[in-house]
Amino acid sequence: MTVYGALDIGGTKIAGALVDDTGTLVARAQRPTPARESAEVLMAAVTSVVDELARHSMWDAQSCFGIASAGPVDTAAGTVSPVNIPAWRRFPLVERVAAHPRMPAGTRPVLVGDAVAMTAAEHWLGAARGFDNALCMVVSTGVGGGLVLDGRLRTGRTGNAGHIGHITVDLHGSVCPCGAPGCVEGLASGTSIAAYAEASGWTPPPGGPATAAEVARSARAGDPRALAAYDRAARALAAAVAATAALVELDLVVVGGGVAQAGDTLFAPLRAHLAGYAVLDFTRGLPVVPALLALDAGLIGAAAAASATPGRSTAIPTRTAEASGRTAAWTA
């Protein structure tokens, strides 16, 4: 069995896994992300996850190691500057993970953005399999995306192509932590959904957290403030999807991440608003579907991306896009 190591680092959790060549997680570890702590406290949480994986019997059998991180990332430099993790700015994550004492000799981790990893996973095994042109999005603590164009994952020069969360959709909106006004992330992330609902007078259950999941629960019960928060998020996502479709022409949009777990509470208004924004003939009727690989897509995609790095041997096969007859691959 061929095994790949993987990390998936976001604003809420740091997850790690050993993934086999069928995309199955052989082992998994997870810690909360201490997102407001120092750079070294954050790195200690990453190390703790790697420590746990390294105790697994298959650890030494891994052939490569992939890291998916919230972005922006710089894949060439091996650094990360996640908008929702303030202490990491140009943080040398690849170098630090490579220095772990149990990392197999000669292993240099491969870095990709978390949404790019999700895109690789969904194109390999999930909802985008068989499609040549797809936008895959992660809507969670932040909002990210990745693009498959002409059957290939397109990551761009620094690995940030498709970063849809930082498209401006409200010219007069609040300034995002990235520095731009009215970003999708500031309107549609789980944090933004909960904050908007609270500002509108919604309150979580007594003793419960103010999260997007709780807002979704209230929306399903008919709370108009919760419904409005999800409608606002869906409108922002729809505007960004329509803009992307107009630029590159898409066959499919896949939406994953924690907020997507709200189901029709998100997808129904998203599809309705998209019909109003995507009005050109070549953008109209664009399917929007939930991700199939749920919350482990980042880990599976990090493994896939590491395996597909040029110069590496790999047991993960290139997929044939059954829907179009073209060859699908993950190279940039």
Cα–Cα dist 55/200, whole Å: 48
Q: What is the band of 309 on the pLDDT scale with cuts at 50, 70, 90?
A: low
Instruction: Read off the pLDDT of residues 167-187 as tens digits, 9 standing for 90 and up.
Output: 999 999 999 988 999 999 999
**Residue 2 confidence (pLDDT):** 86
Instruction: Locate 86 and state its tokens.
Output: 């303030």
Domains of the chain with bracketed CATH:
3-113+296-317 (3.30.420.40), 127-291 (3.30.420.40)
The CB-based long-range contact list for 54-58 (8 Å cut-off, 24+ gap) reads 54/100, 54/102, 56/18, 56/26, 56/27, 58/1, 58/3, 58/18, 58/26, 58/27
Q: What are phi and psi of 283, to 5 degrees?
A: -110, -15
Cα–Cα dist 236/243, whole Å: 11
**Residue 319 confidence (pLDDT):** 40
**Residue 83 confidence (pLDDT):** 82
Residue 229 has pLDDT above 80, yes or no: yes
Residue 164 has pLDDT above 90, yes or no: yes
Cα–Cα dist 108/231, whole Å: 43
Contacts for 223 with CB less than 8 Å, ≥ 6 apart: 202
- Choose between 197 and 293: higher pLDDT: 197
Contacts for 93 with CB less than 8 Å, ≥ 6 apart: 9, 46, 67, 69, 78, 79, 80, 111
Instruction: Read off the pLDDT of residues 5-37 as tens digits, 9 standing for 90 and up.
Output: 999 998 889 999 999 989 999 999 999 999 999
Q: What is the band of 238 on the pLDDT scale with cuts at 50, 70, 90?
A: very high
Which residues sit opposite 5 in a β-bridge? 18, 65
Q: What is the band of 249 on the pLDDT scale with cuts at 50, 70, 90?
A: very high
- Taking residues 100-128, what's their average pLDDT? 91
